[in-house]
Structure 1
Amino acid sequence: MSWLDLGALDDIPARGARKVKTAMGCVAVFRTADDAIFAIADRCPHKGGPLSEGIVHGHGVTCPLHNWVISLETGEAQGADSGRVPTYKARVEDGRVLLEMAAFQRAEVA
């Protein structure tokens, strides 16, 4: 497996995010208050709002445009809303945030 080093965990504020540009579009990489790392597409399934600019709470993010809540674990919209965003594998190793590149490499080949 190929992993992309995105930088130090401390470069992402607790309950914050960073946007990563890929060939498939932007990915939002989130750090929760308990230092868990999640990566999802940076586009709300409702109206395409930038999830990386949303409010992180627990293991969810609220879209800044229309308050849809998206699970960082599953990418599913929560509550009465329906929709889903793609999720990607991310991890922390030796204090560095890593994003698995397999999903992006497959897209470039297709």
Structure 2
Amino acid sequence: MTDWIDVAALDDIAPRGARLVKTRMGCVALFRTADDAVFALDNACPHKQGPLAEGIVHGKAVTCPLHNWVISLETGLVQGNDEGQVATYPARVADGRVLLDAGFIRARSAA
């Protein structure tokens, strides 16, 4: 059974926007696409640790605000000619609330 934790209202994240949330198990960047899909990733770009929650969301990707690296919201993989990956976490929306899989967040914070 998945242990989901409520971290934000969907309306707290603008369409094609992002928000950094702090949980007891660490910070996670939440992203909302234009079609209301929600994704959760670590907030640090693998290049220079740029704050991804401050990046530009387009399609199912986010562009890092520091050096324009494009990262897939679905896989966390850096797109294009650059290499790297950001950890992703299961997220879902229920009753207008964004929920994260607590087990994945705990595993990340213990590492």
Which residue of 2 is the match for residue 98 of structure 1?
99
Task: Sort the Cα spacing of 1:109 and 1:51 in 2 relative to 1 into closer, same or farther, 3 A.
Answer: closer
Q: Do 1:31 and 1:37's aligned partners in 2 also have CA atoms closer than 8 Å?
A: yes
Aligned residue for 1:45, secondary structure, equals: coil
Q: Deviations over 1:75-97 (max 9, x none)?
A: 00000010000000000011111
Q: Do 2:89 and 2:105's aligned partners in 1 also have CA atoms closer than 8 Å?
A: no
Unpaired stretches in structure 1, ≥5 consecutive residues: none
Moved more, 80-89 or 3-12: 3-12
CA RMSD of aligned residues (A): 1.6
Which residue of 2 is the match for residue 76 of structure 1?
77
Task: Sort the Cα spacing of 1:108 and 1:32 in 2 relative to 1 into closer, same or farther, 3 A.
Answer: closer
> How many residues of Structure 1 are paired with residues of Structure 2 in the alignment?
110
Structure 2 counterpart of 1:81, which letter? Answer: D
Unpaired stretches in structure 2, ≥5 consecutive residues: none
Post-superposition shift, 1:11?
Answer: 1.2
Q: Map 1:26-37 onto structure 2 (within 5 A).
A: 26-37=27-38
How far apart, in 2, do the equivalents of 1:23 and 1:9 lie? 20
Task: Sort the Cα spacing of 1:109 and 1:66 in 2 relative to 1 into closer, same or farther, 3 A.
Answer: closer
Structure 2 counterpart of 1:54, which letter? Answer: G
Task: Sort the Cα spacing of 1:73 and 1:9 in 2 relative to 1 into closer, same or farther, 3 A.
Answer: same
How far apart, in 2, do the equivalents of 1:108 and 1:43 lie? 14
Aligned residue for 2:40, secondary structure, equals: strand
How far apart, in 2, do the equivalents of 1:6 and 1:53 lie? 18
Structure 1 counterpart of 2:78, which letter? Answer: A
Which residue of 1 is the match for residue 6 of structure 2?
5
Which residue of 1 is the match for residue 45 of structure 2?
44
Q: Do 2:25 and 2:106's aligned partners in 1 also have CA atoms closer than 8 Å?
A: no
Structure 2 counterpart of 1:69, which letter? Answer: V
Moved more, 95-104 or 61-70: 95-104
How far apart, in 2, do the equivalents of 1:37 and 1:31 lie? 5
